[in-house]
Structure 1
Amino acid sequence: MAMKPVMFTPSDLKWMPAPPATGMPSVVQMTVLSGDPSKAGLFAIRLKIPDGGKVAAHWHPSDEHITVLEGTFAAGMGDKFDASALHDFPAGSYVLMPKRMHHFGTAKGETIVQVFGMGPFVLNYVNPADDPRKK
């Protein structure tokens, strides 16, 4: 089955709270560009993170490709959120988080990132107490 082209302008995007099943914090909004991030297969999504929005240390079962479109995404590697380990990635930056790499992040100013990868897209928290699905 041949794929059909997918084309959007920013005004076409429909933002919604990130589905709880993803494990994203409730402050994160999401829009799906292509594919279905809840299923196996390629997907592309955008995440809108408010200023100061944090994502605790977590990992993914597949590689995560991140492009920063607006704002600044600060990311670090490790088993717990550590502000001193953050590196700033302003708009235009690209980050590849290999599967199972423990990492964390925060937004500096409202930030929009585009994530591309193989689904299902889910966050596995290093510390289960940080998982919003368990609160």
Structure 2
Amino acid sequence: MFNIQGIARIAFALGLASCFAQASAEELDPKAINIKLPEHINWVANPSGSESAVLVGDLSKPGLYVVLNKWKAHHNSKPHSHPNDRFITVISGTWWVGTGSDYKPDELKPVPAGSFVTHYGNEVHYDGAKDGDTILQIVGIGPATSTPAAKK
């Protein structure tokens, strides 16, 4: 048999669960928050063997941008630079990076998921993925142009 305290605890737990269920079922105010689920993120293929999805901003214009970049396995960029600093978080996979104008894909250094990298403006680098896909989040100030490095 249940005693009064046991019944009160059960009633409290059910009431609390009901409150949480009701709160999660309410609609969010679109003026306060915007959620983009993975299936609604628009990925666009790039000639370099990567895909990108612009989350915030316009890369061709001045201002803040946030982009997801997915490097497909066995694809790398050639040496290049960007005019502004870029701040990159490796979301998944291993990103492979190199610096300098001489393209040396065998000397790329691994950067594991969870790492944070800064690409400094006007400094030459190249990067990509080796055996598996890699997803990066890139944050910067546009315009986000890319300039190929002069060949030596």
Instruction: State the TM bucket, normalised to the shorter chain.
Output: 0.7 to 0.9
2:146 paired residue number: 123
Give the match's secondary structure for 1:11: helix
Which structure 2 segments of 5+ residues have no match? 1-30
Sequence identity, in percent?
A: 32
Identify, as 1 or 2, the structure richer in strand: 1
TM-superposition CA deviations, 1:96-123 (whole Å, max 9, x none): 0110111011213111111100011121
1:91-110, aligned counterparts within 5 Å? 91-108=113-130, 109-110=132-133
Structure 2 residue 102 is the aligned partner of structure 1 residue 65: no
1:55 paired residue number: 77
Q: Quick one: higher RCO (CA 8 Å, sep 6+), 1 or 2?
A: 1
Radius of gyration: which is bigger? 2
Aligned residues, how many?
120
Check whether the contact 1:56–1:80 (CA below 8 A) recurs between aligned residues. no
TM-score, with normalisation over the residues of structure 1? 0.80
Structure 2 residue 39 is the aligned partner of structure 1 residue 15: no
d(CA) in 1 for partners of 2:34, 2:150: 37
1:21 paired residue number: none
Structure 2 residue 148 is the aligned partner of structure 1 residue 114: no
